Amino acid sequence: MSLHVESFGSGSAPNLVLLHGWAMHSSVWCGVRDRLAEHFHLHLVDLPGHGFSPACAFDLQGNISGCMLESIAEILPESSTVCGWSLGGEIAIELALREPVQVKKLVLVSTTPCFIKRESWQWGMEASMLQLFAQNLKRDYKTTMKRFLTLQVNGGSDSASILSRLRKSLAERKEPDEAALEAGLQILLRSDLRDKLKNIRQPVLLLHGENDVITHPEAAKWMDGQLQESELIMLPHCGHAPFLSHPDQFIKGLMRLRNGVMA
223 close to 93: Cβ distance less than 8 angstroms: no
Question: What are the residue numbers of the active site?
Answer: 86, 212, 240
Residue 41 has phi, psi (to 5 degrees) of -90, 105
Look at residue 36 and give its three-state secondary structure: helix
Give, in degrees to the nearest 5, the angle at Cα 163 between 89 and 109: 15
Contacts with 190 (C-beta within 8 Å, 6 or more apart), sequence order: 61, 62, 63, 116
Pairing between β-strand 204-209 and β-strand 230-235 as defined by DSSP bridges = parallel
* C-alpha dist (Å) from residue 253 to 31, 87, 208, 261: 16, 20, 11, 10
- CA–CA separation, 113 vs 177, rounded Å? 25
Length of the chain measured in residues: 263
> DSSP letters of 182-212?
HHHHHHHHH---GGGGGG--S-EEEEEETT-
Instruction: For the chain, report the end-to-end CA distance as a whole number of angstroms.
Output: 39
Contacts with 125 (C-beta within 8 Å, 6 or more apart), sequence order: 115, 116, 117, 214
72 close to 43: Cβ distance less than 8 angstroms: no
